[in-house]
Amino acid sequence: MTCNECGTENKDGALFCANCGAKLDRATSERQGSRCPQCGFENPPEGRFCARCGGELKHRHHGLKQHHRQHAPQEHHKRKNERVDTKLKWHPGLVVLALLGGAFALIAGVELFVKKEPEPPLQIEETISSDRKVETQLNEIASKFVCSCGSCGEQPLETCTCNTAIEERQFIRNYLQSGQTPEQIIRALNATYGWIESEFTSLVQDSTETSAALIKKNLISTNTGLQLGQVTRGANTKLATHADRIEIFSHFSCPCGQCGVDELKDCNCQHPKGATEVKGYIDGRIAEGKYTVAQIINEIEAKYGGRKVYGLNEK
């Protein structure tokens, strides 16, 4: 059945054109004949040659089909072109977005599940005494102990390089410089840190209670209530701040040797190596922001002296 709109030949019995969708009119299609292009005679629609002149008939629907192919509606082509342009324009963008999203998700997943290695603790510097006798006695005392940190595999105290071992050796050094005997220092060191070698336990067994009592008396001040050893351990890795000034001052008497003031924090003398100079030096070290409380205390002791020692003068 021929479509009256576009000339497409449809199946018999079809109600709408398969090409353009127009409604098919069987009666009109059957009534419409084929006009001869030679003589103009109206022939039956199924005729192939003109009944008058014998010329070949060109059916209307063939021309309509060709006309439809050549002159398709511009709107249809426009919509098709728009669909093609849309695909070309948006498809690469979606791919890029998907790749970026996947990359961000991967990075987030790695940061979430991969554990960061903990930063190593700040290594403190050991202040070696220029007095060779002090260092010799220090090594002799340290040889009777192992490092007390518990993570060095019981390394000898005189050779271990961890922060705890440095702290213990400085403990010995400070008391040697203050005039304490090796026997007193061994007892004090064992009472504070422990870990004396088993072959030397007899050096501390007869006076363990006495040494422990002496260590308990080593209060820095009534305000802080902290023991000397505790302050040193607490300051291993924490950088000193302005809030630590009084704690550092409390370790020292005025070292000038002229005013005789027991507390550095209470003295403001202008003597050489006096309170004003020492306090200024401490404030300068704190302002640099790279020294711990223990490091500043040890440096002041080595440079100026005047560090206080509690209780160990008793026997």
> Is the confidence at residue 67, as pLDDT, over 80?
no
Task: Judge whether 96 and 138 are in contact, CB under 8 Å.
Answer: no
The domain limits of the chain are 1-73, 123-216, 229-315
Of 120 and 19, which is predicted with more confidence? Answer: 19
Model confidence at 143, in pLDDT bands (50, 70, 90)?
Answer: very high
pLDDT for res 248: 92
pLDDT digits (tens, 9 = 90+) for 212-231: 444 444 433 333 333 344 44
Q: Residue 141: is its pLDDT beyond 90?
A: yes
| pLDDT reported for residue 81 | 56
Give strand pairing partners of 252: 307
Q: What is the DSSP letter of 262?
A: S
Please give the span between the terminal C-alpha atoms of the chain, in angstroms, as a whole number.
130
pLDDT for 76 equals: 53
Q: Of 100-114, 188-202, 226-240, give the lowest mean pLDDT range.
A: 226-240
CB 36 within 8 A of CB 53: yes
Banded model confidence at residue 57, pLDDT cuts 50, 70, 90: confident
pLDDT tens across 4-48, in order?
Answer: 777 778 887 788 888 888 887 765 545 556 778 788 777 777 777
Amino acid at 181: T
More confident call, 26 vs 208: 26
Are the CB atoms for 166 and 121 separated by under 8 Å?
no
In angstroms, the Cα distances linking 172 to 52, 183, 192 are: 138, 11, 11
pLDDT of residue 314: 37
Average pLDDT, the chain: 74
pLDDT at position 222: 32
Alpha-carbon separation of residue 293 from 34, 68, 164, 171, 290 (angstroms): 114, 96, 15, 14, 10
Residues 277 and 269: beta-carbon distance below 8 Å:
no
Q: Nearest-5° angle of CA 222, CA 228, CA 230?
A: 100
What CATH architecture does domain 123-216 belong to?
A: Orthogonal Bundle (1.10)
